[in-house]
Structure 1
Amino acid sequence: MIIIEVCALVIVSFGNLQIPAAVVRVILALSGLILLQHGGSEPAYDELLDGQKNIGATLKLFYGMVLVQGILYAVACMFEFFSFIPRRSLIRGGGFKGQWGMKSVNMYYAYASEKCMQGGVLAPKKINLSTFAMDSVNSDSSKNQLAGIRMMHNFLQSQPTKAQLLSKLATSTKTMARIIRMLDWTSPKDTAIRLYAAKVTAELAKNLRAGTIPGTMQLVSALLDADRRLERGNPLLDTDDEHERRQDPVLNTEDSREVADNQFQTQGQLRDTDILLETESRSTQEVGMNKQNSCVLRCWQHISEFWSIPKEQLRTDHDLLPALAMSIIESLAGVDQDNCVEISKAADLVPKIIRFTICRSDTMNTKAQQEILLKSSLKVLQRLTSIGGETGITLRYKISKHPFLLSNLSGILGDDKSSQISRKLVAGILRNIAVDEKTRQEIGRFQMIITKLMQAFLYSEGTMSTNDDHLSRKVAGQALAMLTIQSAQNCLVILKEPWFMKELKILIHDKRYIYVAASLLRNLCLHARSELRESDLKELSHTLREVLERILDADGAELEILIGLSSQICKVIPEDFTRELDAGQIKQRFAKRLVDTLKANMKPSAHCPGIRRAVLEQVIHLMEYNSRYADCFNAFGMTDALSMVEQTPSKAENYRLFLGDEGFMEYSMPLSDLVARAKELMGCD
């Protein structure tokens, strides 16, 4: 095969008139010089008639120049003939693959040659690969555009070339705008260009500001409709033309065939190339089996390896325009808040994303591809629902109000075939949208959701060995904790499980889940106290020692969670609580810890806005049960601490948590009322 390619290269080279012209120049020049050298005396001439002198020397100089020119032409042709060596080296070194890589390098050589011919000899020329790729993308030729965008995609896969390309694109708004506009090239002949433009944009989106290129979000949103066919409509609302088009088998077949052709045309071409290269490799291997000890064969194998072009990877199920679009959106949301604003403004973007949270029959995608689209949609929804500030409120409202969202998420949790990743993403979405009270109540109506979250958090099978397993369990617990905040109904649904408290007690003693379990247990004690069974109270008592010991060492948000739980346990089973304080001989240390926590948090933060509230509730519950605790607190300066709290009010303490600068889950009782009640129990004037 290599011999055939070399012969073809020779034929093509000799087909170029430069080689025959160079040979003719050399032959004619040598002939003239030989005649002058051996032809005897110089030609006779008449100075008066010819007006010339030294014609022999002049002819020698002329023939010498022609000879040198011919030799230079010949050398240039020789270099051109052996240029396949640096070209193949560039293909392998630059990470190019397949026939497109060879064609791209050939185009780059032609581009570099043209640049060198322009301007002065010493003029600076920008002829590197990144510049060539950008110029190709900005050209009017579809062939050059495809080569340029594929080269960009290739450069973005390697860190050194990626950094160089990104630095150039940062100063080229024209090229960036062209790449974004390529996302809207829906013509069948531009299918490959659009696909690679989406791939490149998915990489660029990690540092892209969508507002700098008008219409970016609209074009990205259009990618979500790339595989969509006509949907079944309502017969009361459809027009006759729409109904006939849906029912027409000819139109539907043609549309399906066009979509399939566009989707697999590039893949078919790449497969043919791989088959050819695989055949070459197999032939070489067969020869090697017959002559393993041949030195010539080993040399031949080295030459073949150098000559061969790395195989191009076939398109995978991940090369779907909707999946790439959702990857772009997820990356844009992680850049800055301005991108989140652009996302929230995009019309119909959220419904298009939610459409992929269920396997649909109105696409040409396989089951594996639909699974990829499902995970992509869940990832971007989890990212969008975690955004803080007013923009996050807007996005969570748009997402949670969708009529099919909760039913789709419930279906994923209820499907035994759903992957662990999908279940974790669903739990993350539910956790994020549960910051809204109305949404929490709506989620509670889907008993399947709460049941499956409980199973994921409490009854995971076997010994978990990976971080993903631990994370999935933790996220499920976080979702349950959020759903039970200020929701007695959701708490009652959870307590229907008779062994729930026993399993939750086990997790309280597990340092990996103690804070999630403590938050959930606090909510159950607060909102479903009357429904706790005798067995539940016993299990609750068994958690006291662990909780109290942790309070003495914890800090920040973790300390707020633990004090909040101990406060509710003290309210539910005060006798057991005080008995544990006395039995463990930690009453003094515990009281001092509460007073010190108040003094250390005179400026509440968004990280733990309710820590002073939790301490005050704990102090009040203890003194309401037994007034002698007032003397214990006074011994450590509780009166002064209460006065400091009273003098440093903060609106942030009215909220349970913050996302960005926005507070959520406002408390019904102001902090000032708790301070007044505590001072009353302390006997302060």
Structure 2
Amino acid sequence: MDDGRSPACDRNDIRLQISETCSGNTTMFEPRGASITMRESSSVDFVSPMKPVVRAPEKKLTLFALRLAVLEKAATGLGTLGFIWATVVLLGGFAITLDKTDFWFITIILLIEGTRIFSRSHELEWQHQATWSIADAGLNSFRALRTRSQFLVRKIEATFKSVLALGKQSRGREIRGNSNANDRGMSEQSRMPTRQWSTPDVPLLPYAQWVFLSKNISKLLYWLQLISATACVVLSLMKLIKHNYGNIAKGDMDKRNRRAALSIFYGLALAEALLFLIEKAYWEWKVIFRKLLEKVNIECELGPLGMISTKRFFYDAYSRCVNGSIFDGLKMDMISFAMELLDSSFPDEQLIGVRILRQFSMNQRFSNDTLEKIGVNLAVIERLVEMLNWKDPQEEEIRLSAAEILSKLAGKKQNSLRVAGIPGAMESISSLLHNGRSSNVSADEISEKKIIHDRANYSFWTFNHLGLVILKKLARDHDNCGKIGNTRGLLPKIIDFTHAEERLLKDEHVAQSQIQTVKRSLQVVKMLASTTGTTGKFLRNEIAEIVFTISNIRDVLRYGDKHPSLQKLGIEILTSLALDEDATESIGGTGSVLKELFRIFFNQEMGEIHNRTRIAAGEALAMLALDSKSNCNRILKLEVQEKLVTTLEIPLLRVNAARILRNLCVYSGPEGFDKLRGVAAAASTVIRAIKSEDQKLQEVMIGLAAQILKFTTSHEAAITFERAGTTQAELAATLVQILKKHKNPPTKTPQIRRFVIEMAIWMMREKTENVHYFEELGMGKELETVLETTAELESFNIFSGTVGLSRHRMTMHSLAEIALGLLGRW
């Protein structure tokens, strides 16, 4: 059977664009399983295509960080050597004999270098803190100098506005970032005041707060280093060019090495300062003029808000190269960096991490690599699942991004097993599903709430969609279906989303998100209802016991003509539920369900897009009539027999029409005999179709013929064969050929041999001459072959995967023995 879980069906992306449900050619009237699929598709090439190599854009940043670290460490090494040389050789050995000018030059240079080294050692720490603001990420470049006047004007203007607004409201919310309508339609907002300081805005001194905000300290340290290095270059060059180290008298043993020692020191100081300035020049060239960070951000497709993430990543990589091995930064990548931030206890870091992972998971170039790395890290998956429970409005974006990542992650089977295996995962996913529908709310109240809470309503629908997306992808695995069914309160929530009123389904201007929600929920219910084995039986029972399930689907069938995909999903759910005997009775006993199914099945005005829906309706009706006397009588009361007979001429629908008619003939009981006599008029059409080369059509028509001809007399049967343009001898030959063709039970047409034998039994009982025809054609030998090759496959009417359901009342052995007895061989 088609359980809707083929990977090919799973082509929806995280942006909630719901694709049409995949529909195969298999039905519940034939077995379906992995082994059968492989056996029938042995020629398929299972070699997976090579994944395209995707170059990581952030490698440019780690390489840049390494080169800067080489210059930084070289400068620091020379500075350390110069410091040691000055303290040990010059000031320690020649302090008394040094010229006064040299003494002060050396002292000033050492103080300058000490200041620069101190500034450098703490600069990265302040730069990290400065990356919390998009507007000022601590690059401390000449760009900041150029824009300082504009910045001051904006600060004064903002301060003036805030003073005016103070009388209007006691507490406001600072809007930051970039309101981008294309970025999920949500503006970037700052968090509400918390119990902790935001590090970029910490005032270090009680007065002159702007100057001493922590986010401006890195600028101060940066310019202090530049001034120190420049001063060091100037002082060193002055001494090296003038070479005025004081007068050294001949024979003065205490001063004979002073000139060389001073030259070495000033040379080291000059080299160290020049290396540092080269590093800063390289920094400015790559960052400001070549816009390296902006380019990497664009290549990563992180958007305007991603600049914070890109800068933070770069500073982390640079810090590792400087503080550890120069190669430590090369081991970093954007994905592992984001996963580390995800585990942070600071909301801002969590937001940066989840934004990166969401964007990379959504990006077609980076998605596979990202999902693989997340999938093997259970701690990250657990963190993402935990975030689904965060209902604080301030954490809305984190929660939404976590849901989007998980919806992509669950697309791979192995990852879906890991997600579902986390304790409490289903409960967390269930928290995304919240239907705020209330029948007691007036239209005016709804309109007012929509205006006031428009953004909240958008997120509300988005969370619902993502929850259903995750459940749909998880439901592709059998074990996960059981977990969904066992999660308290989850099934009723899913069923609740299948509710669709007449206004919703008929209104052409209805929000597409509402239709998508109904569609997604129906897809999930369909997958759960079509689960095989004991788990499927349990789920079908649980779904059918929810009192709203069938009535919700009935509304979709009744009012959903403009949405055939919804009708098809609803019909497929009814077909799967019909595997359960109690559910079959509940469906038939629910008002108008059978009537609506027949309306769809017979509706010739529907276009090409509705054909699959009509086929699905026919299969559902055949399932509901199977082995159900009460449903057969309900169908007969609808007086659709003549239409069913007419439908046997329509190629698209005749297979299911034949199944419905056969079930009516078999299971309606004595009270339906009179109403079915008119069906015999279709016998000639059925007999002609038996000669078709379509094996599926052959199977159902032979089965129907064996039942319809029971309602005819010998004279009527003779007229029927005459109208069909064939003779009983020719039909006997056709039947024997079918048995010869199928030496073993076929999986595509598992009941064809049974129906052939039933038809042969009727023919031999109807006319003695037919016994001789079958003897001459070798029917006896074929029946003996059937006895030797019978299998459980032929003992059932329908199948749930590879599990047979609704066992035939008579075994194949018994049928074959009856036929052999009529031939005189038993």
Cα pair 2:763 2:770 within 8 Å, conserved: yes
Displacement after TM superposition at 1:387 (Å): 1.2
Aligned match of 2:634 in 485, 490, 493?
493
Aligned AA (2:706): S
Distance change (3 Å), C-alpha of 1:398 and 1:534: closer
Distance change (3 Å), C-alpha of 1:74 and 1:129: closer
2:782 counterpart of 1:641: yes
Cα pair 1:610 1:653 within 8 Å, conserved: yes
Aligned AA (2:657): A
2:544 counterpart of 1:400: yes
Q: Equivalents in 2 of 1:92, 1:109: separation in Å?
A: 15
Displacement after TM superposition at 1:506 (Å): 4.9
Cα pair 2:411 2:473 within 8 Å, conserved: yes
**What TM-score results when the alignment is normalised by the length of structure 2?**
0.65
2:417 counterpart of 1:209: yes
Distance change (3 Å), C-alpha of 1:106 and 1:503: farther
Aligned to 1:564: 703
Aligned AA (2:225): A
Aligned AA (2:673): S
**What TM-score results when the alignment is normalised by the length of structure 1?**
0.77
Distance change (3 Å), C-alpha of 1:118 and 1:573: farther
Aligned AA (2:379): K
- After superposition, give the CA deviation of every residue in 1:444-474 in whole Å (9 maximum; x if it has no partner): 1224111111111111425x233xx221121
Aligned match of 1:615 in 756, 761, 782?
756
Which deviates further from its counterpart, 204-213 or 503-512? 503-512
Aligned match of 1:459 in 603, 606, 621?
603
Aligned to 1:323: 465
Percent identity at matched positions? 25
Aligned to 1:290: none
Secondary structure at the aligned position of 2:344 is classed as coil
2:511 counterpart of 1:511: no
Displacement after TM superposition at 1:20 (Å): 4.7
Cα pair 2:389 2:399 within 8 Å, conserved: yes
Aligned AA (1:222): S
- After superposition, give the CA deviation of every residue in 1:413-433 in whole Å (9 maximum; x if it has no partner): 233677322222111111110
Aligned AA (1:168): K
**Greater helix fraction, Structure 1 or Structure 2:** 1
Secondary structure at the aligned position of 1:656 is classed as strand
Question: 1:523-534 to 2 correspondence within 5 Å?
Answer: 523-528=663-668, 530-532=673-675
Distance change (3 Å), C-alpha of 1:107 and 1:530: same
Displacement after TM superposition at 1:383 (Å): 1.0
Question: 1:390-469 to 2 correspondence within 5 Å?
Answer: 390-415=534-559, 419-462=563-606, 464-466=607-609, 469=610
Q: Equivalents in 1 of 2:145, 2:726: separation in Å?
A: 92
Aligned to 2:211: none
Cα pair 2:683 2:705 within 8 Å, conserved: no
Gaps of 5+ in 2: 1-134, 149-215, 502-509
Question: 1:203-282 to 2 correspondence within 5 Å?
Answer: 203-207=408-412, 208-210=416-418, 212-224=421-433, 226-227=434-435, 264=455
Question: 1:7-86 to 2 correspondence within 5 Å?
Answer: 10-11=146-147, 15-38=219-242, 44=248, 47-48=253-254, 52-79=258-285, 81-82=287-288, 85-86=291-292
Secondary structure at the aligned position of 2:326 is classed as coil
Distance change (3 Å), C-alpha of 1:118 and 1:171: farther
Q: Equivalents in 1 of 2:145, 2:764: separation in Å?
A: 96
Aligned AA (1:174): A
Distance change (3 Å), C-alpha of 1:206 and 1:30: same
Cα pair 1:608 1:657 within 8 Å, conserved: no
Cα pair 1:609 1:657 within 8 Å, conserved: no
Secondary structure at the aligned position of 1:635 is classed as helix
Cα pair 1:567 1:614 within 8 Å, conserved: yes
Aligned AA (2:470): I
Aligned to 1:281: none
Q: Equivalents in 2 of 1:416, 1:175: separation in Å?
A: 42
Displacement after TM superposition at 1:17 (Å): 3.2
Cα pair 2:629 2:667 within 8 Å, conserved: yes
Q: Larger Cα Rg: Structure 1 or Structure 2?
A: 2
2:335 counterpart of 1:119: no
Distance change (3 Å), C-alpha of 1:434 and 1:17: same
Q: Equivalents in 2 of 1:22, 1:63: separation in Å?
A: 14
Aligned to 1:180: 385
Aligned AA (2:467): A
Aligned AA (2:417): R
Secondary structure at the aligned position of 1:653 is classed as helix
Distance change (3 Å), C-alpha of 1:316 and 1:84: farther
Displacement after TM superposition at 1:49 (Å): 6.4
Q: Equivalents in 1 of 2:492, 2:480: separation in Å?
A: 19
Q: Equivalents in 2 of 1:447, 1:679: separation in Å?
A: 47
Distance change (3 Å), C-alpha of 1:171 and 1:611: same
Q: Equivalents in 1 of 2:595, 2:263: separation in Å?
A: 105
Aligned match of 1:548 in 686, 690, 699?
690
Aligned AA (1:219): S
Cα pair 2:787 2:813 within 8 Å, conserved: yes
Q: Equivalents in 2 of 1:42, 1:577: separation in Å?
A: 136
Q: Equivalents in 1 of 2:228, 2:292: separation in Å?
A: 29
Displacement after TM superposition at 1:384 (Å): 0.8
Gaps of 5+ in 1: 233-245, 247-252, 268-314, 361-365
Distance change (3 Å), C-alpha of 1:213 and 1:393: same
Q: Equivalents in 2 of 1:212, 1:534: separation in Å?
A: 57
Aligned to 1:189: 394
Displacement after TM superposition at 1:341 (Å): 2.9
The structure showing larger relative contact order (alpha-carbon pairs under 8 Å, at least 6 residues apart) is: 2
Aligned to 2:813: 672
Q: Equivalents in 2 of 1:634, 1:493: separation in Å?
A: 43
Q: Equivalents in 1 of 2:618, 2:438: separation in Å?
A: 40
Distance change (3 Å), C-alpha of 1:118 and 1:524: farther
Secondary structure at the aligned position of 2:621 is classed as helix
Aligned match of 1:108 in 313, 316, 325?
313
Secondary structure at the aligned position of 1:357 is classed as coil
Q: Equivalents in 2 of 1:659, 1:117: separation in Å?
A: 63
Secondary structure at the aligned position of 1:382 is classed as helix
Aligned to 1:288: none
Aligned AA (2:229): R
Q: Equivalents in 2 of 1:105, 1:506: separation in Å?
A: 69
Cα pair 1:357 1:408 within 8 Å, conserved: yes
Q: Equivalents in 1 of 2:745, 2:427: separation in Å?
A: 41
Q: Equivalents in 2 of 1:230, 1:633: separation in Å?
A: 69
Displacement after TM superposition at 1:394 (Å): 0.9
Displacement after TM superposition at 1:77 (Å): 4.2
Secondary structure at the aligned position of 2:546 is classed as coil
- After superposition, give the CA deviation of every residue in 1:147-191 in whole Å (9 maximum; x if it has no partner): 222222222223331111122123212212211222222333322
Cα pair 2:597 2:621 within 8 Å, conserved: yes
Which deviates further from its counterpart, 200-209 or 45-54? 45-54
Secondary structure at the aligned position of 2:691 is classed as helix
Secondary structure at the aligned position of 1:511 is classed as coil
Cα pair 2:287 2:293 within 8 Å, conserved: no
Question: 1:302-317 to 2 correspondence within 5 Å?
Answer: none
Cα pair 2:745 2:790 within 8 Å, conserved: no
Cα pair 1:23 1:70 within 8 Å, conserved: no
Aligned AA (2:551): S
- After superposition, give the CA deviation of every residue in 1:35-85 in whole Å (9 maximum; x if it has no partner): 442466755475426973514522441342244134224314413642772
Aligned AA (2:593): I
Aligned to 1:379: 523
CA RMSD of aligned residues (A): 3.6
Displacement after TM superposition at 1:369 (Å): 4.7
Q: How many residues align?
A: 596
